[in-house]
Chains A and B, each alone.
Chain A
């Protein structure tokens, strides 16, 4: 270990309470006081201790641990909706806190410069983790949106429906297909109604997927009806020359339900 780092480590160790106090204040201001003071203090103390270990070079695991702690630090901030600049600033403000103390001592300047470089690296690391955390949030949301947008609802004993809303692409149709087939097993439903009222466009690919879903349901022993084909879509389907073959289609979800009830031997009568 070279002497510059040793002296800096000794200095940081000696002035720990004071630096931490200043750092917490600065970090709190830079994050707009959105993180509870006690929590911030605890996080910064942890980071400070690890920075000390890193600088003294006492053990090799400090760098790895510090990276993990920083990643968690920025993930927590990403969840609280802080900007990446605010997060990085919280780390950078450690430089200010230390500088305020070394400003009077001219002989500490080289040590300080090395230390500032280290802190800059740490700040950049939080930035990286922050972006990664945000990306993860977006990916999770996209996935849950996919889940949300394809509910399988039970209309009656033995009759389930899948109301499709929004554009259908291969990934989504695949999901619909799997969910529908799984629900057929789970609910032992013999009839399924796929309602495409909310689907703006149907092209050959989507039609193909729908047909496959209907065929797969048939193979499993259930009957599938497609309802809610809008006039434009009917026009497109015919113009494209898509063969719906023996797939049963009905005008509205209500017609589909009526048909399914009929097939179950049930009848709706006025009370």
Chain B
């Protein structure tokens, strides 16, 4: 099973999803991320899904779950780089990912975290 790497930049964790997500790797990512947030005392998580072309309701829910989970640790989650087709799919699935902030790209996401807006 492929693992999604979690990178640390200052007090921000950067997760760039570059693989086709399987249910198992999603589960693993959630656990790894929770551990990492606690270990590094991160206050922000950026999830880059630029490379994700296909989503289903499971992945949609995973994104929300990560959002709510990080909030419990006092970290903000910002979802960046969503493709138009993915956005349309999520909306059609009725998943509006309440509670997760979004940004167009990683740069804007980092700025959003830094600005505290």
| Contact indicator B96/A218 (Cβ below 8 Å) | yes
| Contact indicator A178/B87 (Cβ below 8 Å) | no
Measured between alpha carbons, how far is A268 from B108 in the docked complex, in Å? Answer: 24
Say how far A177's CB is from chain B's closest CB, in angstroms.
7
Name which residue of chain A comes closest to B108, CB basis.
A221
Name which residue of chain A comes closest to B101, CB basis.
A221
Contacting residues of chain B (73-117) with chain A, CB-CB under 8 angstroms: 79-80, 82-84, 86-88, 90-92, 96-97, 102-105, 108-109
Q: What residues of chain A lie closer than 8 Å to B96, measured between beta carbons?
A: 215, 218-219
Measured between alpha carbons, how far is A212 from B97 in the docked complex, in Å? Answer: 13
Query: Which of the listed residues B80, B83, B87 has the most CB atoms from chain A within 10 Å of its own CB?
Result: B87
Name which residue of chain A comes closest to B112, CB basis.
A221
| Contact indicator A181/B80 (Cβ below 8 Å) | no
**CB within 8 A of A219: which of B91, B105, B108, B109?**
B91
0/1 interface trace, chain B 56-78, chain A, CB 8 Å (1 if under)? 00000000000000000000000
Contacting residues of chain A (170-226) with chain B, CB-CB under 8 angstroms: 177-178, 181-182, 184-185, 188-190, 212, 215-222
Q: What residues of chain A lie closer than 8 Å to B91, measured between beta carbons?
A: 212, 215-216, 219
With contacts defined as CB atoms under 8 Å apart, how many contacts are there between chain A and chain B in the complex? Answer: 56
Q: What residues of chain A lie closer than 8 Å to B87, measured between beta carbons?
A: 181, 216-217, 219-220
**CB within 8 A of A178: which of B84, B92, B109?**
B84
| Contact indicator A218/B88 (Cβ below 8 Å) | no
**CB within 8 A of B90: which of A185, A216, A221?**
A216
Bin chain B's interface residue count. Answer: 10 to 19
Q: What residues of chain B lie closer than 8 Å to A221, measured between beta carbons?
A: 79-80, 82, 102-105, 108-109
0/1 interface trace, chain A 132-151, chain B, CB 8 Å (1 if under)? 00000000000000000000
| Contact indicator B84/A184 (Cβ below 8 Å) | yes
Say how far A200's CB is from chain B's closest CB, in angstroms.
25
| Contact indicator A188/B104 (Cβ below 8 Å) | yes
| Contact indicator A212/B92 (Cβ below 8 Å) | yes
Name which residue of chain B comes closest to A214, CB basis.
B91
Say how far A186's CB is from chain B's closest CB, in angstroms.
10
Name which residue of chain B comes closest to A181, CB basis.
B84
Name which residue of chain B comes closest to A184, CB basis.
B104
From known contacts A185-B83, A221-B80, A221-B82, infer whether A216 and B104 are also in contact, taking CB-CB under 8 Å: no
From known contacts A190-B108, A212-B91, A212-B92, infer whether A218 and B102 are also in contact, taking CB-CB under 8 Å: yes
From known contacts A184-B104, A188-B104, A188-B105, infer whether A220 and B92 are also in contact, taking CB-CB under 8 Å: no
Q: What residues of chain B lie closer than 8 Å to A190, measured between beta carbons?
A: 104, 108
Say how far B97's CB is from chain A's closest CB, in angstroms.
6
| Contact indicator B104/A181 (Cβ below 8 Å) | no
| Contact indicator A216/B108 (Cβ below 8 Å) | no
Name which residue of chain A comes closest to B60, CB basis.
A219
Say how far B17's CB is from chain A's closest CB, in angstroms.
15
| Contact indicator A219/B104 (Cβ below 8 Å) | no
Q: What residues of chain B lie closer than 8 Å to A182, measured between beta carbons?
A: 84
Name which residue of chain A comes closest to B104, CB basis.
A221
Q: Which residues of B contact A (CB under 8 A)?
A: 79-80, 82-84, 86-88, 90-92, 96-97, 102-105, 108-109
Q: What are the nearest 3 A-B pairs in CB distance?
A: A181-B84, A221-B102, A216-B87
27 contacts between A and B (CB under 8 A): A177-B88, A178-B84, A178-B88, A181-B87, A182-B84, A185-B83, A185-B104, A212-B92, A216-B87, A216-B90, A218-B96, A219-B79, A219-B87, A219-B91, A219-B96, A219-B97, A219-B102, A220-B82, A220-B84, A220-B104, A221-B79, A221-B80, A221-B82, A221-B102, A221-B104, A221-B105, A222-B104
